[in-house]
Amino acid sequence: MTALKELRVLDMTQYEAGPSCTQALAWFGADVVKVEPPGKGDPGRGGDIIPGNYFFQWNSNKRSIVIDLTQEEGRELLLEMVVHYDVFVENYGPGVVDRLDLGYEVLRAVNPSIIYASVKGFGSSGPYADRKCFDGVAQAMAGALSITGQPDDEPLLPGTTTGDSGTGVQLGMAILAAYIQRLQTGDGQYVEIAMQEAMTYYMRTRMAMAPGWNNEPVARIGNGSRAVNNLYPCKGDGANDYVMIMAITPKMWVNLCSAMGKPELANDPRFVRNRDRVDNGDALKKEISSWTKGLTKHEVAELLAVADVPGGPVLDTSELLNDPHLTERGFITTIEHPDRGEVPILGWAPRLSASSVDLTAAPALGEHTAEVLTQDLDLPPAAIQRLRDKLIIGGS
C-alpha cells in the first residue's frame, strides 16, 4: 500500500523545479506520467534519449510519453487524457502553455476537478512576471547570494540547488493541500508558485536573527553564525578536512571544553558568557582550532557526539555516497541504469510507517507512450501506429 496510490499526475515539467515536485509525489506512490516533446524530450536529459545522470536523479518512478503538442491532434490527445488525471503540473517559461492553448481554464473545461499547478520564476503577475528564471537567478533575487560567502568577498552562489528543488518540494505540499480540499468539495483549483518567493522561505532565519534586518542589509558572515558555531580545520590536507561545531547553549559550551580536554576554558573570563565569546571570537577560534587540527574530522565528530555537542565532519560528495549511517538506513540506494549499470541515487527523506515505494529507474524518452495511451484512452495498436506515423507521438 502506498500513500498516494490513487493519485494520477500529468507531468509536463522540465529541468529540476518541476520534476523535483512530481518525483516527490511519485515517491509517495502517485502514478506520474511525464509528457515530453519529440526529439530530445526534457532538456534535463542532456540531449540523449537514455537518461543522463541529472535527469536520472530527478525523474525516477515516472513513466514517459512523447506527444507533439505543437500539432493540434497532439494537443487534442492530451486533452482527452486530462479527464483521467487528478493533477497537471508544468514549469515552462512564461507564456508557453498559453501559446499551446493548454492553460488552466482550457484543462478545467475538460476536467473541472483538475488541480493545475504551475512553477514560474516570478509568478503570473507583477513587473517580473515575463522574465525567465533558473535556480541561480531565483537564489540571487531572493537574497541568498547576498548572505552567502565571506564578509569581504563577493556574493557566493550556494552549492545546493534550493531555488529549484526547494521550490518543487513546496509545490508538492501545495498540490496535496489542494487534493485534500478537492476530496471535500469535488472542485479542482489553480496552484501557482514563484521560485523567487519560494526561495525567500529559506531566508527567514538569517533575516530574523540579524540586527536591524528590516532597515539594513544582512551581512555575509562566512561559516560562523554566532560564537563557537563555526568551521574548524582538522588533521589532513584535503579540501574538506574540516568539522562544523555548533555549541549553541551554555551547557554545550561547557561540554565542548571538556571534550577538548580544556575544562578551564569554560571559566576563562574571555569566554564565560556568549557575549564574551563573540567579543573574543578570534581567540576562541584559535583555541578550538588548536584542538581540531590534531585530529581527523571523524575523530572530532566522535568526541563531540560523546560530549553531546552538535557537530559533524564536512563530507564531500564521494564520502556522502559511502556514508555508513545513510547506507545502513537505506537512503543511499542503487538503481539499474540501461547504459551505466548500477547507479547510486540519493533517496527521499520522509519515511511513512505504513507506506513504502520501491525506487525505479528514470524512463527512457517515450518509453511508455503506447502503454499509457492504451491504459487511458483504450487506443488499439493500429490507432497508436497511425499517430506514430503522423509524428503526433513518439517513443515505444
Render 102-133 in DSSP notation, one character per residue. -SHHHHHHH-TT-EEEEEESS-SSSTTTT---
Residue 307: other Cβ atoms inside 10 A = 17
**Bridge partners (DSSP) listed for residue 233:** 242
Residue tagged 568539522 (cell numbers): 243
Helix (H/G/I), strand (E/B), else coil: 146? helix
User: Angle, nearest 10°, between helix axes 17-27 and 167-185?
Assistant: 50
Catalytic residue (one of 11, 164, 241, 376): 164
Please confirm, yes or no, whether 308 is among the known catalytic residues: no
What gap in Å lies between CA 244 and CA 258, rounded to an integer? 17
Q: Helix crossing, 297-306 with 281-292: angle to 10°?
A: 110
How far apart (Å, rounded) are the C-alpha atoms in residues 347 and 355? 15
Closest CA to 260 of 247, 272, 248, 269: 247
- Tell me the residue type at 49: I
Residues acting as catalytic residues: 164
